[in-house]
Chain A
Amino acid sequence: MNLLLIAVVQGLVMGLVYALVSLGLGLIWGVVDVVNFAHAEYMMWAMYATYFAVAGLHLDLLAALPIVVALGFLAGLCTYIVLIRRIMGGPAVTQIFTTFGLLFFLRYSAFAAFGPDFRGITWPPASGSVLILGVPVSTAQADAALAALITFGLLHALLQWTKTGKALQATAQNPAAALALGIEVEWMYMLAWGLSIATAAVGGVFLLTFYQVSPTVGDAFLLLMFASVVLGGFGSVLGPLLGGVVIGLVESVAGNLVSPTFKLAFVFAALLLVLFLRPGGLLGQERRG
């Protein structure tokens, strides 16, 4: 079979998953203007939550999904209220260090609680593989990609077709003008954080069906997420989607056709290239003037 086709299909599928876990990072970056270096850690916690719901409480994955996503939303809300609100509009140094502190805290409290072991679950409906364009893809990955598409669709609908979504966009574009229109900007920030972590949680739930969790799982994802968001540009839903897919393709094509050991190197090189050439992203524009 054509090696390139396999690489492209697998890259697309994983790209959608990357897009899903990156979505929230771009959302907060765009709406709240905070760069959350701890984003991948929330995904890791969602994976643990799923693991314990499925392996510990014997819930079905689809029953665990709403619980974990709701917990994710709450976690995002709390993060904003307890921590982020205090550093809004502060210097970049403070913001960067705060979210790095958050990264340390989240990652190593998982380490302290669960130890360094890798844990995974098997979800019977996701065993085996399906054919996409004639290329076999594991059902678990295909499910995750489908979940990504549904999540993107829902979020896109929320942003484009509801009043709240428009208000969220207004807040991202010009918070002062939004306030003058009577939009409770503070609530929009809370909502953005809730949605951000909730989407990361959706990603975590489905990722666990084919990817084992450990406290350092975020390491592998943090830069992938940033690459997706920077590549696609933040402040829109389509940006991370496009970015994630491109990153998935770069990783898969380079990994399959050039060298599997250096596939991440290609991703980082792509990120650097975009940073140097188009820091606004492929779709994005410079924020606020």
Chain B
Amino acid sequence: MTAVGAAVGVLLALLPLAVHNAYFINGMILVFIYGTAAEAWNLLGGYAGQLSFGHAVFFGLGAYTSTMLLAQAGISPWLGMWAAAGLVAAVSLVVGLPTFRLRRHYFALATLALAELVRVLFLNWNLVGAAVGLYLPVRLMNQPWAMIWNTKTPYYYIALALFAAACGAGAWVGRVRLGLYLRAVDEDEDAAAALGIPALRYKLLMMGASAAFTALAGSVFAQYVLYIDPSTVLDPLRSVLFAIMALFGGRGTVAGPAIGAGFLILLSQYLGGALGGFGRGYDYVVYGLLIMWIAAYEPRGLLGLVQRLRLWRPAPAPGAEVQPPAHDGDARGPRPAPAPLLEVAGLAKRFGGLRALDGVDLEVRRGEIVGILGPNGAGKSTLFDCITGYLPASGGRIMLHRAGGPRVLSGRPPHWIAQQGLARTFQLIRVFPGLTVLEHLLIGQEHRGESIAAALRPSPPAVRRRAEILLQFVALEAHRDAPAAALSYGQQKLLAFAMALVRRPPLMLLDEPVAGVNLTVVERLKDYIRTQNEAGTTFLVIEHNMDALMALADRLYFMANGRVVVEGPPEAIQQSDEALNLYYGR
């Protein structure tokens, strides 16, 4: 891929030497500028999964900032564009913080409204020329410091360089840990949080980078067209165009937005030439048809279409340099003394009038395997959700005792709780369908104290080694590069289990680990839990399979109607008439 990209870059760099058609060169400059913006949009909309329809704001603010700096203060756009990028990135973070709380359509809608708001303000703000707009100082013609020329070639190279940088940024994100985290967050934000990934932090990072690149594209655009006004650079349609280019080519890939920009801009140019009606909007009619068609039939975009036609398949993701599995043996020293690890006191959860949890007291001691048993609807999964931060408790206290002293978990977000050393699996398997098996194991690594700089590098060798070992542990080596969607139910269950194990959590919460899997896998999972327990992990397990639970657990809690009914060793629960009656009926 890198080689292909470099070759395309060299070809594009040589293009102006061979082609002198100004119309075509103009088209290519627009392709690069729009391509940059589309790649930038893709950083947020493709990798981070947040669909923005407000990128025209960043584009326009970039254009206005560098233009104002040049026209009012005589500051060179070579500097001004970076100032613009910085300013716009800062603005985007302020905007991003509240908007990222919104999901689905609401985020798109909020960004659209923000963009309109900014446009109305600029239309009436005299300092920036209001509706009349701003002219760049053409008296500075052909002065390189002012970035103004009356030939197209300099613009061609500036735009190409920017475009290459944007593609490079996309490619980079695609191959470091950050890209992996973002894909996981995009596929299942809750499951990513269970691994300790702070989604908001990385989304904001992408928002900033995306806004900065868009601003740079806006600055260069202003330098090229020499005139800006709210209805060109702040046009909401422009936001939609950036998004559509990325989607059209293929969201979440590097080549996608580039191909989309090239295709759509050159199509516009061609239609403008061929039909002579550039102003008549034929190009947008065709865009509209193409977008509907591609969205309804091949959501992965042109790249997906190409893949479907099997003309070209992308190379598998990098990361094939694997060490032979070596045992690092989970050396954790002697088994610790049975001190309490997790304490739950008086935990309550109400949904409207329904008491799902009605004062649950529970204690898990270090090194134990504790089971939770009870009929459907007893509140077992709700208990897990409250402990791990997915549901806010209505009352009570949850404490985790760690080396640094006890920590109160109540009221904390899931990713923070996960970072304290608490891993969980979900009753309905939550794997990331589009990520490969190996990627699942890489993504599970320790996130506590991970810096942004660390996320911008590939996973360290120690993590990769551990991933490979776990891959063997759950017997999925043969599937290491297969997407999780291609695995069977039992294999996905094993994968979810292994993914939670990668960072060696002191405490694991398993929600029905063996439900729905065949007997061989049940036995295998039981073995894994035992092995892992001997290596120092404490388990809290919800399970309906009595046999499995009796064989595993040191202690059991029996729950019904949101309360703990009986607690004790498995034999005691088996002798409890109350529990048996509640569970199996009278």
Which residues of chain A have a CB within 8 Å of any CB of chain B? 35, 83, 86-87, 90-98, 100-109, 111-112, 115-116, 215, 219, 223, 226-227, 230, 261-262, 264-265, 268-269, 271-272, 275-276, 279
Contact = CB atoms under 8 A, between A and B. Distances in A.
B124 A262 contact: yes
B247 interface: yes
Contacts of A223: 112-113, 116
B110 to A, nearest CB: 5
Interface in B252-303: 277, 279-285, 287-293, 295-297, 299
A227 B109 CA distance: 9
B280 A112 contact: yes
A92 to B, nearest CB: 5
**Which 6 A-B pairs give the minimum distances between C-beta atoms?**
A105-B288, A101-B291, A104-B288, A108-B281, A108-B284, A111-B281
Main secondary structure of the interface of A (DSSP, over half): helix
B102 interface: yes
Given A35-B105, A96-B105, A268-B116, 8 more contacts: A94-B295, A94-B299, A97-B291, A105-B284, A107-B288, A109-B288, A226-B112, A275-B110
Interface of B: 51, 98, 101-102, 104-106, 108-110, 112-114, 116-117, 120-121, 123-124, 236, 240, 243-244, 247, 251, 277, 279-285, 287-293, 295-297, 299
Contact of A91 (B120, B244, B277, B299): B299
Contacts of B101: 276
Looking at B98, B109, B244, B247, the one whose CB has the most chain A CB atoms below 10 A away is B109
B102 A275 contact: yes
A230 B277 CA distance: 38
A109 B113 contact: no
B98 A104 contact: no
B243 to A, nearest CB: 8
B1 to A, nearest CB: 24
Nearest to B124: A261
Contacts of B288: 101-109
B244 A105 contact: no
Contact of B106 (A108, A219, A275): A275
A97 B281 contact: no
Nearest to A261: B124
Contact of A98 (B98, B280, B295): B295
A94 B98 contact: no
Contacts of A83: 292, 296
A105 B285 contact: yes
B113 A275 contact: yes
Given A261-B124, A262-B120, A101 B290 contact: yes
Contacts of A227: 113
Contacts of A102: 288, 292
Nearest to B117: A268
Contacts of A219: 236
Contact of B108 (A86, A96, A108): A96
A96 B246 CA distance: 14
Contact of A272 (B113, B284, B285, B299): B113
A271 B244 CA distance: 24
27 contacts: A35-B105, A86-B296, A96-B51, A96-B105, A97-B247, A97-B295, A98-B291, A100-B240, A101-B288, A104-B285, A104-B288, A105-B285, A105-B288, A108-B288, A109-B288, A112-B277, A112-B281, A223-B112, A223-B116, A261-B123, A265-B117, A268-B117, A272-B113, A272-B114, A275-B109, A276-B110, A279-B106
Contact of B291 (A100, A115, A262, A279): A100
B477 to A, nearest CB: 32
B170 to A, nearest CB: 18
Contact of A279 (B102, B114, B120, B277): B102
Contacts of B98: 276
A36 to B, nearest CB: 10
A230 B110 CA distance: 11
Nearest to B293: A101
Contacts of A103: 288
B110 A98 contact: no
B117 A269 contact: yes
Contacts of B285: 104-105, 108-109, 111-112
B299 to A, nearest CB: 5
Contacts of A98: 291-292, 295-296
Given A223-B113, A276-B98, A93 B251 contact: yes
Looking at A98, A100, A226, the one whose CB has the most chain B CB atoms below 10 A away is A100
B283 to A, nearest CB: 8
Contact of B121 (A35, A91, A95, A265): A265
A135 B53 CA distance: 40
B105 A105 contact: no
Contacts of B282: 108, 112
B232 to A, nearest CB: 14
A226 B292 contact: no
Given A98-B295, A102-B288, A109-B285, A93 B51 contact: yes
A94 B290 CA distance: 13
Looking at A35, A102, A226, A279, the one whose CB has the most chain B CB atoms below 10 A away is A279
Contacts of A96: 51, 105, 108
A269 B113 CA distance: 8
B295 A101 contact: yes
Contacts of B110: 272, 275-276
A97 B290 CA distance: 11
A101 B292 CA distance: 5
Contacts of B290: 101
A49 to B, nearest CB: 18
Contacts of B281: 107-109, 111-112, 215
B288 to A, nearest CB: 3
B105 A92 contact: yes
Given A93-B251, A262-B124, A104 B296 contact: no
Contact of B287 (A104, A261, A279): A104
B430 to A, nearest CB: 17
Given A272-B110, A275-B110, A92 B284 contact: no
B563 to A, nearest CB: 24
B291 A104 contact: yes
A223 B448 CA distance: 42
